[in-house]
Amino acid sequence: MPYFDAASALPPHPVARQAMLAALDEGWADPTRLHREGRRARLLLDAARESAAESLGCRPDELVFAPSGTRALHTAVAGALTGRRRVGNRLLVSAVEHSAVLHAAEAHEAGGGRVSRLGVDREGRVLLEEVRAALAEEKGAAALLCLQSANHEVGTVQPLSEVAAYCLDARVPLLVDAAQTLAWQNPPGGWSLLTGSAQKWGGPAGVGLLVVRKGTRFAPAGPLDERERGWMPGAPGLPAIVAAAASLRAARAEAAVESERLRTLVDRIRTAVPQLVPDTEVVGHPQERLPHLVTFSCLYADGESLLHALDQAGFSVSSGSSCSSSTLTPSHVLRAMGVLSEGNVRVSLPPGTTGAEVDAFLAALPEAVRSVRARLDPPAGTGGGATATSGGTAASGGTATSGGTAADVAETSGSAETSGSAAATGGGEAAGAGTAGAPVGLTVDALGRRCPMPVIELAKVIDRVPVGGIVTVLADDEAARLDIPAWCRMRGHRYLGAEGTAHRVAREK
Amino acid sequence: MPYFDAASALPPHPVARQAMLAALDEGWADPTRLHREGRRARLLLDAARESAAESLGCRPDELVFAPSGTRALHTAVAGALTGRRRVGNRLLVSAVEHSAVLHAAEAHEAGGGRVSRLGVDREGRVLLEEVRAALAEEKGAAALLCLQSANHEVGTVQPLSEVAAYCLDARVPLLVDAAQTLAWQNPPGGWSLLTGSAQKWGGPAGVGLLVVRKGTRFAPAGPLDERERGWMPGAPGLPAIVAAAASLRAARAEAAVESERLRTLVDRIRTAVPQLVPDTEVVGHPQERLPHLVTFSCLYADGESLLHALDQAGFSVSSGSSCSSSTLTPSHVLRAMGVLSEGNVRVSLPPGTTGAEVDAFLAALPEAVRSVRARLDPPAGTGGGATATSGGTAASGGTATSGGTAADVAETSGSAETSGSAAATGGGEAAGAGTAGAPVGLTVDALGRRCPMPVIELAKVIDRVPVGGIVTVLADDEAARLDIPAWCRMRGHRYLGAEGTAHRVAREK
């Protein structure tokens, strides 16, 4: 049963299991105590720190263990900001950072600090011009810049060397969230703070790490104690920490060979998916990317259903679609990149994945997508469309979404250019608002309907207006802002923008 | 090799080991993910929560897991204070709470909040009159009251039922730090928040728990995510959590029998120590106490050396003496109780401790104390005194402490009543400041010397003044404020108070 969600958590490395047991047997005591059991625990903790520091290329006294990668990031951001509070209070983060960084940024704002969110290109790489401008704007007095080594959702590797050079120039500390790359290698130098999470390299849940380079101003706030340099309160989770250090070393020993092997397998997926499944878009940078991760989005499908279909077929993947999370907003990463979010699938291969497993996935994917699309009554020619428009499955799928089984469509022969906002209030009332010389228009009311329904309804009616004609889609699902423009790009139509919940699309061909 | 430091951490229960391995094998995935590995992890997490909730007598949705008992306390205090910020900002804590609570209180003060530290009696029980007065003073608008179920250093059980009744009356939420008692039983009802630490009941390091009763206003601040009700950010350390829940259940199954057995063994220690070792004081409440814990202090000894001597004899114990910690201040618990801190030893028996092990400890203790005392050149008649005054060991022990090998002693025949502060500035200069009718006085200069040296010097010279005469001890070690009065109490002399670093003692017999 192939597990393709390595970017969330890896199955524990065999040495993690051994190390955890040994540490539970030998290192259960409080390592701050002076008796022999305490000293034994202390030795294990020190050894774990030295081993991890060696893997990371830092000094042991620059490294502290945290209860998770998230806590490491929270402490890193807060400690660096407090340490620099006399210099400035502007925090710079890329728009595609892990939510832990974005939450820390929100907390900084709530406390009166300022935050700049730096944009990314369509491949997900931070815009160097924005980095440079943001640093320049603060005249070197920005408090901190946070940038991930690679993106956790689309796998794009960030231009860390360039950003580090800018930061050194501006004398602004750089925090690198290296969670997605520490299994493979260390990030390039020039950073002041670095964080990681053991779950991503084959260690157990419950261990993060934080490296603070000598000379970095750092002052975590809140209640603290003497543990971990006074930066991470509470007794460290020793068995898990020892397992984390052992598995990091083991992962690195296999990293070079394994990353090349997985890179080839991911290339196979990147090439095959658009050929095997119509109306899909592979997102993320094609070259500057993680070796083991590929993400694609499928028009006319929702991510959660796709994930379930693949799970039933025996494949565990992840999704950044709004539909797959409890928050009902599409992934902030896909949003910042401006790419399609609907039917999003992230495949991240753990070490040891075989070519046969990847081939099995590619063999199962088309039917999984087709079955999901079929339930949503998609436009013709999308695999599931032919049977879906009349089948019982399609009907029950349709009623399962809110807002009726089909969108209300109002035709207008008047000026579609001006009827958009009027149509938004009442469906067909805009008809006849104008008559002369304007392109024929259509309004699709998909208010209250969840992704990917607004796009499906748009796709079904686009041929009903002539080339140059306008379809206005009324849609209040937040994903529509991403998915309607992405659909236009993929299908060769022109997105004219949105006014409130009214999205206007010009048929181009 | 008997391990008698259960109050720091217990050796893991055998079921913890099994559960941890099973959870590592089956529950390594991210429990928020929808694929089968994620669902499996979720099932384990849910089962652990249900099991722990059943043990604690709460609802599963009232219980969240934390990375440590310390983090649970920090979140509990901060969340409850923020939840009540419109009612009031006064935090009430007993003076003998765990340092995690005191650190949280300091953070509250740093943020502009108010804190009252409630005194305890000489046995360590919070003064109910102070509780009542503090609640009355705020007219029911105190934000939170924190009280431990039992003290971690001296084992005294707190009058929780009475305090809970006061809190209910005043409609002030009560947070119970139950770390030291959850292995045995649940605290009495009436609390709003409860915390614990798995290390104390045979679970692994890295797991705390927090229960927030339905209806309690609770709003943790800072960066958060969707984990654990949005109260504990970061992926939960699943293997350790599963082990923690399993071991709690196992501990409870054995608690009734084991607590009675250990109580008898502790009684044996409480009775025997003062008989076997001269000049010792057993501290903490004799009846209202933890079943497995006893603490005593030894005059003319330092805790760290005692701990090492016992360690060498094969016994692992803990100490609340200043000398045993990196902070150089005596335990805040002993300070608040006003009892002797020097030569402090905490013995806390893990389940399974045998009578033979306890007897072996009692057999080894007198020689351990004697050897430590001998190195410090104590007054005659304290076990090690006879050989210590001339032996080579004593000399090297003497030079190891700062401030010279022996205290400067200045005799004065003038008014010791008024010469105290003058003597403090220069040793013998006070001699002759007055002449008529005053008791003969002595000044001992122990400035710069660490505990227990000031008390040892005091004990050596007390017989050189007549009954009614005054010895002034110049001592700047913080422990002297505790240990000189305690010595007076134990030896039947009268402590007249301190002025700056000058402590004045009247010989009574």
Contact B99 A5 (CB under 8 A): no
Shortest CA distance from B68: residue in chain A? A234
| Each residue's pLDDT tens digit, B390-437 | 333 333 333 333 333 455 677 665 444 444 333 333 333 334 344 445
Q: Write down the pLDDT at residue B412.
A: 63
CATH class for the domain made up of B16-219+227-251: alpha beta
Asked whether the beta carbons of residue B205 and residue A308 sit closer than 8 angstroms, the reply is no
Nearest to A270 by CA among A347, A336, A342, A339: A347
Is B225 near chain A, with CB under 8 Å?
A: yes
Per DSSP bridges, beta strands B470-474 and B441-445 are parallel
Q: How many CB pairs under 8 A join A and B?
A: 229
Interchain contact, A205 vs B304, CB within 8 Å: no
Closest Cβ opposite residue B37 in set A3, A239, A327: A3
Contact A206 B21 (CB under 8 A): no
Residue A207: count other Cβ atoms within 10 Å of its Cβ: 35
pLDDT at A401 over 50: no
Flag whether residue B68 sits within 8 Å of chain A, measured between CB atoms: yes
Q: What is the DSSP string of B104-117?
A: HHHHHHHTT-EEEE
Instruction: Copy the structure tokens of residue B439.
Output: 């008791």
pLDDT at residue B379, rounded to an integer: 80
* Mean pLDDT for the stretch of residues A67-85: 97
pLDDT band for A282, please (50, 70, 90 cuts): very high
Domain ranges, ordered by start, for chain B: 16-219+227-251, 269-375, 401-506
Catalytic residue selected from B298, B323, B451, B488: B323
**Would the pLDDT of A500 be above 60?**
yes
Q: What is the pLDDT of residue B275?
A: 97
Report A:89-128 residues touching B (Cβ under 8 A). Answer: 99-100, 103-104, 106-107
Instruction: Give the mean model confidence (pLDDT) for residues A439-453.
Output: 88
pLDDT of residue A386: 35
Partners of B296 in beta bridges: B282, B345
- Residue from B342, B344, B356, B354 nearest B318 by CA: B344
Q: Does residue A255 have a pLDDT over 80?
A: yes
Q: Is the pLDDT of residue B384 over 80?
A: no
Which chain A residues touch B239 with a CB distance below 8 Å? 20, 204-206, 240
Who among B11, B69, B318 is closest to A28 (CB)?
B11
Q: Is the pLDDT reported for residue A414 higher than 80?
A: no
Q: In this structure, how many other beta carbons lie within 10 angstroms of the beta carbon of residue A133?
A: 12
The verdict on B219 touching A (C-beta cutoff 8 Å) is no
A30: left (phi over 0), alpha (psi -120 to 50) or beta: beta
Q: By the CB < 8 Å criterion, does A225 face chain B?
A: yes
CB A220 within 8 A of CB A191: no
Catalytic residues of A: 323
CATH topology classification for A256-375: Aspartate Aminotransferase, domain 1 (3.90.1150)
Do A256-375 and A402-506 agree at the fold level? no
φ/ψ of residue A458, rounded to 5: -60, -45
What residues form DSSP beta bridges with A63? A211
Q: Does A215 touch chain B (CB under 8 A)?
A: no
pLDDT digits (tens, 9 = 90+) for A352-391: 999 999 999 999 999 999 999 998 887 876 654 333 333 3
Across the interface, whether the CB atoms of B318 and A33 are under 8 A apart is answered yes
Kindly identify which residue of chain B lies nearest to residue A106, measuring between CA atoms: B223
Cα–Cα dist A314/A299, whole Å? 22
Query: What does the mean pLDDT of chain A come to?
Result: 88
Is there a contact between A246 and A51 (Cβ–Cβ < 8 Å)? Answer: yes
Which residues in chain A are closer than 8 Å to B175, comparing Cβ atoms? none
Read off the pLDDT of residues B458-505 as tens digits, 9 standing for 90 and up. Answer: 999 999 999 999 999 999 988 898 899 999 999 999 999 999 999 999
B47-72 average pLDDT score: 98
* Beta-sheet pairing, A174-177 with A193-197: parallel
pLDDT, position B153 = 95
Mean pLDDT score of chain B, rounded to an integer?
88
Q: Which of A40, A160, A187 is nearest to A94 (CA)?
A: A160
Between B9 and A378, the more confident residue is B9
Q: Which residues pair with A409 in a beta bridge?
A: A444
User: Given a cut of 70, is residue B93 above it in pLDDT?
Assistant: yes
**Res. A412: pLDDT tops 80:** no
CA A196 to each of CA A180, A191, A245: distance values in angstroms, whole numbers, following the listed order = 8, 14, 12
Confidence of residue B267 (pLDDT cuts 50, 70, 90): very high
What confidence tens digit (pLDDT) does each residue in B173-227 have? Answer: 999 999 999 999 999 999 999 999 999 999 999 999 999 999 999 999 889 888 9
Q: Which of B202, B145, B226 is nearest to B9 (CA)?
A: B202
The answer to whether B68 contacts A235, with C-beta atoms less than 8 Å apart, is yes
B239 touches chain A (CB under 8 A): yes
Angstrom distance (rounded) from CA B252 to CA A261: 51
Establish if B413 touches chain A: CB-CB under 8 angstroms: no
Q: How far is CA A147 from the centre of its chain?
A: 14
What CATH number has the domain spanning B401-506? 3.30.110.40
CATH no. of B269-375: 3.90.1150.10
Quick check: B357 contacting A, CB < 8 Å?
no
| Interface membership of B34 toward A (CB under 8 Å) | yes
Does residue A185 register a pLDDT over 60?
yes
**Nearest residue on chain A to B309, judged by CA atoms?**
A35
CA distance B361 to A378: 79
Do A239 and B205 lie within an 8 Å CB cutoff?
A: yes
Whole-number Cα distances in Å, A80 to A75, A134, B271: 8, 18, 54
Per-residue confidence at A1, pLDDT binned at 50, 70, 90?
confident
Percentage of residues in chain A with pLDDT exceeding 70? Answer: 87
pLDDT of residue A406: 54
Q: Of A405 and B147, which is predicted with more confidence?
A: B147
Q: Which of B4, B33, B227 to mutate to test the interface with A (most CBs of A within 10 A)?
A: B33
Rounded to 5°, angle at Cα A338 from A337 and A343: 100
Shortest Cα distance, chain A CAs vs residue B422, angstroms: 39
Q: What is the DSSP track for A156-174? A: BBP-HHHHHHHHHHHT--E
Q: Beta strand A502-506 with B63-66: parallel, antiparallel or unpaired?
A: unpaired
Partner A, chain B 372-401, Cβ-Cβ below 8 Å: none
DSSP three-state, residue A358: helix
Residues of A in contact with B238 (CB under 8 A): 204-206
Evaluate whether A89 touches A113 at the Cβ level (below 8 Å). yes
State the distance between the two ends of chain A, measured CA to CA, in whole angstroms. Answer: 44
Tell me what the mean pLDDT of segment A126-151 comes to: 95
User: A234 and B106: CB-CB below 8 Å?
Assistant: no
d(C-alpha B494, C-alpha B506), whole Å = 5
A351 vs A450, higher pLDDT: A351
**A402-506 is classed CATH 3.30.110.40:** yes
Q: Are B11 and A28 in contact (CB under 8 A)?
A: yes
CB contact under 8 A, B37 and A326: no
Taking an 8 Å cut-off on Cβ atoms, the answer to whether B316 and A199 are in contact is no
In this structure, of A94-103, A286-295, B77-86, B435-444, the range with the lowest mean pLDDT score is B435-444
**Which contiguous run of DSSP H or E holds residue A135?**
helix A128-137
What interface predicted TM-score (ipTM) does this complex get?
0.88
